[in-house]
Structure formats: C-alpha cells, structure tokens
Structure 1
Amino acid sequence: MTASASEAAPPQRLTFDSEDIASDERFEAYHALYRGGTDVSPTSDTFRARVEAQRMGQLVMVERHLNGAQHERTLQRVRTDGFEHFTLQLVLSGRLLVETPDQFITVTPGQAIVFDLSRPQRTRAENAHYLTFSVAREMVEAATLHAFALHGTVLAAEAGLLADLMVSLVRRRAGDDPRQTAAGMQMFEEALALALGRTPVSHDSRDALSQARLVVEKLLARRDLDPDMIARHANLSRTTLYELFRPYGGVSRYVQMRRTARLRALLGRVESRTSSIAELSYQVGFAAESHAARLYKAQYGETPGQRRQGSAPLPRGIETNSGFDPWIRALYR
C-alpha cells in the first residue's frame, strides 16, 4: 500500500492492490482499510481487490475493483461510530448486491446508489468495478430537501451527467491539483443537485432557503416555533416559506427532522450522558419525551435509549485511523 504525499502533509492519494500482498494476508490487509467505518467479510475464495483513493476538497473519491467481499454497516456500527455523511456508489461493471432495512437491490452498470451512513446497509461485490464518493451531509442537504429519504435510492438515467463527472474527476485525478479543486467541487455540487431531482432555483430562492434554515437552527429549541415565526424572522411570506419546504412535506416536518437530528447528536456526546433523555428532548424543542421518541424511531429505526446505549467507544481492536478513515472524519470538521 502506498500513498503519494510528503510526510509533512496529509496524503491526498492512496493505493492498494491485493496482488502485492502475500495470499494469506490479502483479506486482512484490505479489511484494515475500512476498520474505522465498516465491517468487511469474505464471500468467496476468489477475493480480489484493487483500490485507489484520492481526496478533493470535501470529497473522498475511491475507485475500486472488488470481488468476493461484503461491506456491512450494522446497527451497532452505526450507533458507535457516529458517521452521518453520505456515499454515492457508481457501478461501472459487474454488480453490487445491496441490502437496506427496507429492500434488497441489485445495482448494475450505469446505476448509482445513495447511502446514508447513519442507517444500516450491506453491500456485496461480484466482479465489481465501481466508484465511491464520500460526501459531507451538509452538501447533500444543500442539494435536496429530502436527504433523509435517500438511503438506498438508485439513480439511473437521471444520474447520467453526475456519473460522467464522477468518472472524469477520478480519471483526471482532480484532487492532485489545487487549481482544479474549487471548480471540480462546484461542478459536483451542481450535478448532484440535478441527479437528486431538485429543480435548479434562482440565487434569490437559494438565499431565502438558506436564511429560513438558519432561522430554524437558531430557534429550534423554542417549543412555540411554527411557520409564522420562521417566516417572520426570515422576512418571507408564508406562501414562499411553504413552497421552499414543500419537498419535505411541510415546514413542520422539516422542524421535526432537525430536532430529531440534534437529539441524536446530543445522545452521542459524552458531556450529555448526565442529562436524561427527557431533558435532552426539551433542549431541542420537543414538548414531550414520548413525542420525541416516536419521531426518533421513525427516522432512525431505533429509540433514543438504544442510541445512548450504543454510543460507547468502538470495541478494542477497531482502529479508527486506519486506511483513509482520517479523510472521512475530516468531512465533519
């Protein structure tokens, strides 16, 4: 395994080829790349992996040739590592067999699948050549108002431009040239928004949405927060506000989702362990713990109590800075 960077700065590229490693050590070496974020297991005797990863701005881009391996994020893993970013996986050849809590999917060449890493998943590669882009959550939420519903979504024809761009960024090694990073990031953000189905909006509308979101974040703890208050503080009409948040099913639904997301973050913090779940629920604006628990389970598939029980450090033997995991964790800074 090699990384092309000086010792004085974090490496921006990393390569791995199982053929360069002794046969009895190949899978364990591959497994070590992913110990910080996924459980990897062999699925056949014909394991083969070639990986090239690079970092470009807020993106971690990985090209992978993989057979005979399965990646899984169990509910326990989701609870413990706290990852909440997204990955976009584009299949170039072969296939990925995917399982989420809601469905089984086969992803074939030309298709891309979106994963929310705050949700469980299992992916099995069969002679697959595919690209994986790790994307900060805020970038996805800026591209679409229904980020919460994307987990397991397969993009085909609508991802054509995005797929072409992903291939180009990887092939051109755009992360190696700082001059290309800003332009590459801008193009990716625009292509992502188009692929996720959001109609491009004017800069005025984009600014209005950003302002409304800022108001929600600032006033989220107020239990009397409602559309009238948000519209007033954001200097928007109720009609405009409702139109901006229509993809969520309404302003109130968006507020509820932000409250459950903030509750989840608090439950994972060591300094919050002395506060009861009821107290934390009130802190994020819920009027009752039972209401918070019901919405939390609907969004994350577990209760707040289960989240708290699973928020301990990773088990011993799990190396959280192995492979390119530090790049992933940098998405949260």
Structure 2
Amino acid sequence: MTTADIEHQILLSSGLDRTANFEHWRNGVASLFEATPANGDLDGFSADLASYNLGHFLIGASSATAQNFNRSPELVAATGVDHLLIQLYVKGECAYDADGGIGKGVAGDIVCFDLSRPMRSRTTDMDIISLILPRAMIRLMPRTIDDLHGARLDGATPLGVLLGEHMHSMAKVAPRLAGPDGSLAAEVASVLVSSALSAAIAAENGTLMDSNLQAIQVFIERNLTNPALSTDMILRQFAMSRSVVYRLFEPIGGIANYIRERRLLLAKLKLASVGTGRGSVARLAYATGFPSEDAFSRAFQQYYGIRPSEAIRNAESGIQLKRRMEFAEENWMQPWLDKLRATA
C-alpha cells in the first residue's frame, strides 16, 4: 500500500504566507478545536501537519508555533463524536483545563482528551503526534473512560515510553497502513492506550475489565441504535446464562441501566443533528434505539434533569456552528470523525 491508497491531508508552511498557512491550519482542525495564535496575531506563525485516516483510527504528526485551543460546548454539540484524542508531546508543553480538570503536559508526556466534553489548552511551540480512537475501542470500564478526560501519562514511565514509541512508529508507517494492516494496528493501539492510561489514572482500582464484560460492552456500543438490543439478544449472542450476565454488570448498575445510560449519552451527542422542528424528539429517540418517544423523554429528563425538547433548543448554537463548518471547504476532519469506526 502507498500513501495514495490512504485518505490523508498534508499541510506544509513552506510556500504559504502566514495568513494562508493559518487559514489552512484553522480549517483543518476546526472540528477538534478553535485555534488562535498564542500572541494574538500571526507574527511568526507556522504550522505543518500530516494526518491519515485509517478508517478505525486517525493519526497525525504536527509542528506548530504556540497557540490557544478551545473545544467549547457548542463545538462538542456541533461535531457530535464520541472519540478520545491522545496527544504525545514530542517537543513543547501544554497547560490545559479539561472540563474543570487542570493539568500540564511537558515534552515526552501523553495527554488524553475526551472529544465528547469541553476543554481548552495553551501550548508553547510544539511537535506532537495525535491519535484519535473511538471510545468503543478502549478496553476500560466506562466510568474509568469518563475519568480519562485530561489524564496525563508521564513520558518517563515504562508504559509512557512504550506508548510514546508506539505512537512514533505508527505515525511513521501510517502512509502504508491500510485494510487488514490498519485494523490490526488499531487493535494494538487500543490495547496499549488502555493499559497505559489506566496506569495513569487508577491502576490500583482494577480498571482493566473482565474479558467477557469487555466483549459484551463492545457489542452494546455497536448495537446501541438497534431497538432490538436487549438482555435477551445479548444472552443469545454470547450463549451466557442470565445470572452470569447480571453478575457481570451488577458492579456498574445492571445491564438494562447500562444500555439506557449509553443510549442517553449518545442522545446528548446527537442533540445538534436532529434539527429543532416538529418531530425532533421522536427522531432523536429512534436514532438512539429507544422504542418510543415517551420512553425516551422520561429517561432523558430523569437522567439530565431537562426535557429533550429543551436540550435540543439549547443546542441551536451548535447546529448553527455545524452548518458553518459544513460550508468550510477545508474542513476535511469532520467526515473523518463521523465515519470513524471500531474494529470488528
């Protein structure tokens, strides 16, 4: 396979004036962040980027001058994706606020951001390698994954060195990864990321999941929008007894509650995608696997404390932002994020 066989985007600052370089860069990362130069103007600005879409994951290497990055609640609603962004700082450092979690990463460190949540950061001049994986590929308990937003892995630890070197290698061979190779690379990356980040936040709390529970949770994630998804469907799929499945899910609130919670989180991500006209609540209910609008509305209000119709209206600014993003010819990132899928 060659680079020509793999969807990719290359941005080179050479040959571009600073304004053009910044506009290409800003539009390219618009689905991840609103980017602004740290000093407030384009004096000395430069940014280079090589990014690859491997279908199961995205990986890119970039080099840029100091900037501010902001992922606002409106941008989260507009993009509507449920992926993790893992960034290795090869050079430079960042100070960040991950939805209230304050942290700092220095050269060699690996920082994780949950793209379903707001964040902001300020960086120095930097060289970074970025990896984006669907949440369903992370082999950790869901509540542990929720704690990954803003998690920092010390680059000097053994797992930090291992994951950092692997990200270097993946970025290097990305132009030749396609088909089965890309799928295998995604599986390896998910294992390393899961192990390394669990060590970074709470290794002593048993964050690695039972293999049966992991398999069922992956199956649930891939069938959330299927109204037929149920305990009985899972029993048939995995040839397990009801008591075994109930015992597996008991520590995390039970299987029915788990499915409902994952569907409600998906609904929150899709608020900006259903429009604000008549029938928007029903469209959101059926798009997230609920059997009826009434069942969805009751569950949504109980979980979030707000009616779904109200939440949809509040997402209007995100809808407007998404429309503007769709008109930006150089926003190639959004289609990549929308189509990103977990390995089979």
Per the TM alignment, residue 255 of structure 1 is displaced from its structure 2 partner at its CA by 3.2
Alignment match of 2:208 (pick from 199, 204, 208): 199
Alpha-carbon separation, structure 1, partners of 2:337 and 2:34: 16
| Match status 1:275 vs 2:279 | yes
- Corresponding position of 2:114: 116
Provide, for residues 161-202 of structure 1, a one-character-per-residue CA deviation record: whole Å limited to 9, x for no partner: 322211111123364465642432231122123224343644
Provide, for residues 56-113 of structure 1, a one-character-per-residue CA deviation record: whole Å limited to 9, x for no partner: 3412111112222222221122222323322111112210121222122211223222
- The change in CA–CA distance for 1:85 and 1:242 in structure 2 (over 3 A counts) is same
* Relative contact order higher in (CA < 8 Å, ≥ 6 apart): 2
| Match status 1:330 vs 2:325 | no
Alignment match of 2:290 (pick from 284, 289, 301): 284
- Corresponding position of 1:59: 57
TM-score, with length taken from structure 1: 0.75
SS of alignment partner, residue 77 of structure 2: helix
Q: Which amino acid aligns with 2:128?
A: Y
Provide, for residues 224-244 of structure 1, a one-character-per-residue CA deviation record: whole Å limited to 9, x for no partner: x8x8x7886663354553435
- The change in CA–CA distance for 1:210 and 1:245 in structure 2 (over 3 A counts) is farther
Contact 1:145 1:245 in 2 (8 A): no
Provide, for residues 2-35 of structure 1, a one-character-per-residue CA deviation record: whole Å limited to 9, x for no partner: xx855xx6x5343223243123433223213223
Provide, for residues 222-266 of structure 1, a one-character-per-residue CA deviation record: whole Å limited to 9, x for no partner: xxx8x8x788666335455343563x4554652342231243356
- Corresponding position of 1:307: 315
Q: Which amino acid aligns with 1:192?
A: V
Alignment match of 1:87 (pick from 72, 77, 85): 85
| Match status 1:72 vs 2:70 | yes
Q: Please, which runs of 5 or more residues in structure 1 have no aligned partner? A: none
- The change in CA–CA distance for 1:97 and 1:174 in structure 2 (over 3 A counts) is same
Contact 1:90 1:111 in 2 (8 A): yes
Q: Which amino acid aligns with 2:290?
A: V
Q: Which amino acid aligns with 1:54?
A: Y
- The change in CA–CA distance for 1:317 and 1:143 in structure 2 (over 3 A counts) is closer
Alpha-carbon separation, structure 2, partners of 1:249 and 1:191: 27
Q: Which amino acid aligns with 1:136?
A: P
| Match status 1:43 vs 2:49 | no
- The change in CA–CA distance for 1:212 and 1:130 in structure 2 (over 3 A counts) is closer
- Corresponding position of 2:241: 236
Q: Which amino acid aligns with 2:111?
A: I
- The change in CA–CA distance for 1:296 and 1:210 in structure 2 (over 3 A counts) is same
Alignment match of 2:21 (pick from 17, 23, 26): 26
- The change in CA–CA distance for 1:256 and 1:330 in structure 2 (over 3 A counts) is closer
- The change in CA–CA distance for 1:312 and 1:108 in structure 2 (over 3 A counts) is same
Per the TM alignment, residue 278 of structure 1 is displaced from its structure 2 partner at its CA by 8.6
Alpha-carbon separation, structure 1, partners of 2:222 and 2:241: 13
Contact 2:33 2:70 in 1 (8 A): yes
TM-score, with length taken from structure 2: 0.73
- The change in CA–CA distance for 1:206 and 1:97 in structure 2 (over 3 A counts) is closer
- The change in CA–CA distance for 1:231 and 1:60 in structure 2 (over 3 A counts) is closer
Alignment match of 1:145 (pick from 135, 142, 146): 142
Q: Please, which runs of 5 or more residues in structure 2 have no aligned partner? A: 199-206
| Match status 1:264 vs 2:268 | yes
- The change in CA–CA distance for 1:257 and 1:101 in structure 2 (over 3 A counts) is same
Contact 2:11 2:49 in 1 (8 A): yes
Q: How many residues align?
A: 316
Q: What's the C-alpha RMSD, in Å, of the aligned pairs?
A: 3.9
Alpha-carbon separation, structure 2, partners of 1:180 and 1:216: 27
- The change in CA–CA distance for 1:206 and 1:75 in structure 2 (over 3 A counts) is closer
Per the TM alignment, residue 324 of structure 1 is displaced from its structure 2 partner at its CA by 4.1
SS of alignment partner, residue 64 of structure 1: strand
Per the TM alignment, residue 281 of structure 1 is displaced from its structure 2 partner at its CA by 6.2
Q: Which amino acid aligns with 1:148?
A: D
- The change in CA–CA distance for 1:324 and 1:161 in structure 2 (over 3 A counts) is farther
Alpha-carbon separation, structure 2, partners of 1:268 and 1:16: 30
Per the TM alignment, residue 52 of structure 1 is displaced from its structure 2 partner at its CA by 1.8
Alignment of 1:218-237 (within 5 A): 235-237=240-242
Alpha-carbon separation, structure 2, partners of 1:322 and 1:313: 15
